[in-house]
Amino acid sequence: MSNSVSERLKQNAEKIMQMWEVRARNEVSASLHQDSLVLQNSLPLYLNQLADELSTRIERKPAKITAAQVETTRIGKQHGHERAGYADYSMTQLIFEYHILRQVIFQVLEEETPLGVRERDIIIDSIEQAVNDAATQFSQTLQDIQELFMVTLTHDLRGPVNVVKMGTQLILRRLERGDAHIDVAARMISAIDRMDSMIQNLLDASRIRAGQSLKLEFEECYLDQLLQEAVEDLNFTYGERFVLLADPAIKSNCSRKQIRRVIENLATNAVKYGAPNTPITLTLQQTATQIELIIHNEGNPIALEAQSILFQQFRRTVSAEEQTGWGLGLFLAKSIIETHQGTIEIESAEGKGTSFIVKLPRCSMVPE
């Protein structure tokens, strides 16, 4: 029986594809823009592979079975990869194509006689595996395309942003003290800096997603001095809201640039989501084993369910939906602190405000 089914599948492969194409064009909207060869893609190869699975004449040695499985997976992934390259196709439409194919295969093969249980199981299992392989590759390819787009876009944006910033700085230098336009130019530079920071966040997030580590230059750094500099700039930008409580001479071996980036990110978050016009306190202290930085703001607490997604990339709480940004700041802050062999935690409760707690080893080691 199996060999008869295998032969009938090979003999009717063209008919199956023709019937499948008619139904696909009627039921899958994305297929309307594809010619026949592109639409069928690797499915004829899949039918040929399925016929071999149904055959009783092909010797089923372990090596042969493994090779067949590898080839079937390759064909499924090829189909998913190709579909992801077309803007019209969605995951749902990709899967629906295979459902139509399964229905057509059964319809054609059972025109003469019903299939046996074994043959039906082989076909169903094979289609399910093909769907899994194609869907997995579709998702991966789509992610790769989006990643490439993001990296290309952010890289290309750096050029014009730098030109605008240099031009604005030149204008600012030429303005006379007391000129009403000085404040406007300063605000423009601040806005450009924020835009540049967002672009850098995207680039760094892309590197991390690609499995690359951030490029950090470690040096001996007095954190109390670094915090003092950051607080002065923050007070200039957001008003005299930031209060620094720092033990003196706290020294760490760290990336000065990236630790400041973490401080500014957490402080800016406190401005965005904390109660307006209330103090934001930065506390730096150390114990025998670790350095602790706490950035605290007043305001409504962050719900427990929201706290669980705060450090995920592109995830934002409901309260943050109307704020500008990519939803990458906390994700990158966590990545930077973990690269320093530290941790970052959150404490938030009604009447107590919100605190982000950064803990670093007393002497942060340079990662190997």
Q: Tens digits of per-residue pLDDT, 203-241? A: 777 666 666 667 778 889 899 999 999 998 888 778 889
Per-residue tokens: 247: 């033990």
Distance CA 87, CA 102 (A): 25
- Scored b (16 or more CB within 10 A) or e, 182-196 reads eeebeebeeebeeeb
List CB contacts of 125: < 8 A, sequence separation 6 or more: none
pTM above 0.85, yes or no: no
Report the percentage of the chain scoring pLDDT > 70.
Answer: 83
Q: What whole-number percentage of the chain has pLDDT above 90?
A: 29
Q: What is the pLDDT of residue 42?
A: 85
Whether 136 contacts 128, CB under 8 Å: no
What is d(CA 240, CA 263) in angstroms, rounded to the nearest whole number?
17
Q: Is the pLDDT of residue 1 over 80?
A: no
Query: For position 320, what pLDDT does the model report?
Result: 46
Confidence of residue 171 (pLDDT cuts 50, 70, 90): confident
- Kindly report, residue by residue over 256-269, the tens digit of the pLDDT: 888 998 998 899 88
Q: Percentage helix, strand, coil, to 5, in the chain? A: 60, 10, 25
Residue 3, pLDDT score: 61
Query: Half-sphere exposure (CA, 13 Å, Cβ side) for 31?
Result: 20
Count of H-run helices and E-run strands, the chain: 12, 7
Model confidence band, residue 53 (pLDDT cutoffs 50, 70, 90):
confident
The helix or strand, by DSSP H or E, that contains position 156, with its residue range, turns out to be: helix 117-174
Average pLDDT over residues 111-127: 89
CA dihedral 52, 57, 62, 65 (to 10 degrees): 0
Over residues 315-334, the mean pLDDT reads 59
Rounded mean pLDDT of the chain?
82
CA distances 304 to 272, 307, 345, Å, are: 19, 5, 13
Give the pLDDT of residue 318: 45
Q: Burial, 172: exposed, middle or buried (Cβ in 10 Å; 0-12, 13-18, 19+)?
A: middle
Instruction: Say which residue, 158 or 113, is predicted with more confidence.
Output: 113
Lowest mean pLDDT among 126-140, 319-333, 334-348: 319-333
CATH 3.40.640.10 fits 219-361, yes or no: no
The answer, yes or no, to whether residue 198 has pLDDT greater than 80, is no
